């Protein structure tokens, strides 16, 4: 929702919003020089980040940030955008608290089932990093690659939580299907998500440059979009075949039926964006469906793998 509504800079600083823990209701509540103040804070934070990038050898990326003067240009205050971005941060804090509780509860399994603690710790560290990197996304004014890294860690958190959900389920249902088929579908879906991220990065740049020409955005996309669009047929066929095998061998289930619905939904929303001038409401829906497909395939893979292991020991 933040991306599709263009609210990423609704709060130009982090973790506060316009210097306050509760965003202002009107522009009159802000000092007259609020743009200059925020720009100065942003420049200072970016200088630290550039030094960090150079320390790890990312000199080219650091140079791009240093030379991008648009980063220091502040946007006008928008009540709607500030509320959307602020809501995003509130949800992030709630997630952080909940995963902190998961980590706390996992400590008792350090000696008996250490992998639960390791997974919970990894999820907690990912949340901490994602929260910190969110400040970088804001300070660099939504530089496309930083948005992609931020999104990637969000998917990593989903994967870790799916793993913890599976490992702590009392009576998980196992699937009698080729584990290699599941792995193939999972890898193909990850590849498609990478293609989708590349399309989004280019689309972000087009949207920034041609905000008033939304109907022409798709026509301005290049090879990334063609590959992503064509590869959707591969995903539709592979996930469809996997769902058929799951239903055939193990009967109907939420995962097998849901995978079909989600895959079709992903294609439909993708087509809707391609031929409907990228409607803002379809962008978050398309991403949500992609994350659900990833989680569903990961859970199916875990339960097929454990089933194979059970049969082997039996």
List, as one string, the DSSP characters of 88-127: HHHHHHHHHHHHHHHHHHHGGGTTT-HHHHHHHHHHHHHH
pLDDT, tens digit, for every residue of 31-61? 777 778 777 777 777 778 888 888 878 787 7
State the pLDDT at residue 118.
Answer: 95
Does residue 170 register a pLDDT over 60?
Answer: yes
pLDDT, tens digit, for every residue of 301-314? 998 855 444 444 44
Q: What is the residue-averaged pLDDT of the chain?
A: 84
State the pLDDT at residue 19.
Answer: 79
Dig out the tokens for 144 from the structure: 């496309």
C-alpha–C-alpha distance, residues 234 and 24, integer Å: 48
What mean pLDDT is predicted for residues 215-238? Answer: 88
**Of 111, 239, 109, nearest in space to 167 by CA:** 109
pLDDT, tens digit, for every residue of 116-168? 999 999 999 999 998 888 777 777 766 777 888 888 898 999 999 999 999 98
State the pLDDT at residue 115.
Answer: 92
Question: What DSSP string runs through 12-77?
Answer: -SSSSBTTBSS--SSGGGS-TTHHHHHHHHHHHHHHHHHHHHHHTT-HHHHHHHHH-GGGGPPPPP
Left if phi > 0, otherwise alpha if psi is -120 to 50, otherwise beta: which for 24? beta
The model's pTM: 0.79
**Of 120, 123, 124, 122, nearest in space to 109 by CA:** 120
């Amino acid at each position: 929702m933040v991306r599709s509504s263009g609210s990423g800079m609704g709060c130009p600083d982090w973790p506060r919003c316009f210097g306050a823990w509760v965003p202002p209701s009107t522009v009159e509540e802000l000092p007259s020089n609020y743009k200059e103040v925020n720009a100065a804070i942003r420049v200072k934070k970016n200088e630290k980040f550039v030094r960090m990038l150079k320390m790890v050898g990312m000199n080219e990326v650091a140079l791009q940030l240093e030379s991008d003067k648009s980063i220091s240009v502040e946007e006008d205050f928008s009540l709607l955008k500030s509320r959307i971005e602020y809501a995003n941060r509130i949800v992030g804090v709630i997630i952080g608290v909940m995963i902190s509780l998961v980590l706390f509860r996992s400590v008792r399994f350090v000696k008996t089932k250490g992998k639960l603690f390791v997974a919970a710790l990894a999820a907690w560290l990912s949340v901490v990093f994602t929260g910190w990197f969110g400040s970088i996304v804001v300070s660099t004014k939504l530089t496309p690659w930083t948005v992609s890294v931020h999104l990637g860690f969000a998917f990593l958190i989903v994967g870790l939580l799916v793993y913890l959900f599976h490992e702590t389920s009392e009576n998980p249902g196992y699937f009698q299907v080729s584990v290699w088929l599941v792995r193939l579908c999972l890898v193909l879906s990850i590849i498609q998500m990478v293609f989708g991220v590349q399309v989004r990065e280019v689309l972000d740049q087009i949207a920034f440059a041609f905000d008033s020409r939304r109907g022409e955005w798709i026509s301005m996309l290049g090879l990334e979009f063609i590959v992503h669009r064509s590869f959707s047929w591969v995903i539709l066929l592979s996930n469809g075949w996997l769902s058929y095998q799951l239903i055939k061998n193990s009967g109907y289930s939420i995962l097998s039926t849901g995978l079909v619905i989600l895959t079709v939904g992903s294609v439909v929303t993708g087509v809707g964006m391609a031929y409907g001038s990228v409607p803002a409401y379809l962008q978050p829906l398309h991403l949500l469906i992609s994350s659900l497909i990833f989680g569903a395939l990961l859970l199916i893979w875990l339960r097929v793998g454990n089933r194979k292991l059970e049969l082997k020991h039996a």
